[in-house]
Amino acid sequence: MMKMAIVGGLGWVAGAKVHSNRASKNLKKKHMKEAKTLYSQYYNDVYKLQEQNAELAQAVNKLQVILQKAEGEREMESMQRDYDEFKQPDVDGDDRISRAEFAMYVKNYLSSYPGLTEKDYPRFEDFDHDGDGYVSFSEYTQQMAAQAKQAELDARRAAQSGSQAAAQKAGQKAHAYQGLAGGGRKVDNFDDLYAQYARR
């Protein structure tokens, strides 16, 4: 009886050990399979993210190229508008504005602003930066931008001073210069003129 109990006990221990080893191996196998699946999923996800990042980088590069092209086209259009405006007073077509051409153009243009007197008109000397007696395209665009900016500052100061007459006159002067610097764009009223200048 004792032998049978010992043999039975040993058999049970041996069986338990074998069963335990088998269960342990099965668990390890299952764990390795799950780990492999998880690693595969992880690497697949990382690869997909890298692909998406590469696609996004390409899209950003394309957008930058489109933006640079659009900016270049906008600058060219703006330069063309400025040049067209510059050519209006250039009666003889020599790509420069003489004192007589300047005086005639400014007087004709600003005569539509009855609140302005001749002392409010732009002066030829301010445009002729190099003093050669002619205004080049470069001198014209630089000075018109400066004149428009100064006129706008004067209008703001006049508005803040509380003098309605001074504010009205300064505002009219600002609108007139902004129109001169605006590339000859057609407008219906002062609000349109100001809006077009602000968009630049």
**Taking the domains of the chain in order of start, what are their residue ranges?**
32-79, 88-199
What's the pLDDT tens digit per position in 72-89?
888 888 888 888 888 888
For residues 176 and 127, give the distance between their C-alpha atoms in angstroms, rounded to a whole number.
16
**Residue 98: which residues within 8 A CB-CB, separation 6 or more?**
92, 133, 134
Closest listed residue to residue 124, CA positions, set 108, 145, 139, 109: 139
SS3 content of the chain, % helix, strand, coil (to 5): 80, 0, 20
Give me the chain's average pLDDT, please.
76
Question: Residue 57: its pLDDT value, please?
Answer: 93
**Tokens at 195, concatenated:** 């809006």
Q: Cα dihedral angle (105, 111, 116, 121), rounded to 10 degrees? A: 10
pLDDT at 180 over 80: no
Does 157 or 51 have the greater pLDDT score?
51
Mean pLDDT calculated for residue range 2-15: 65
Q: State which of 6-10, 58-62, 101-105 shows the largest mean pLDDT.
A: 58-62
pLDDT at 181 over 90: no
Instruction: Label residue 61 by pLDDT band (50, 70, 90).
Output: very high
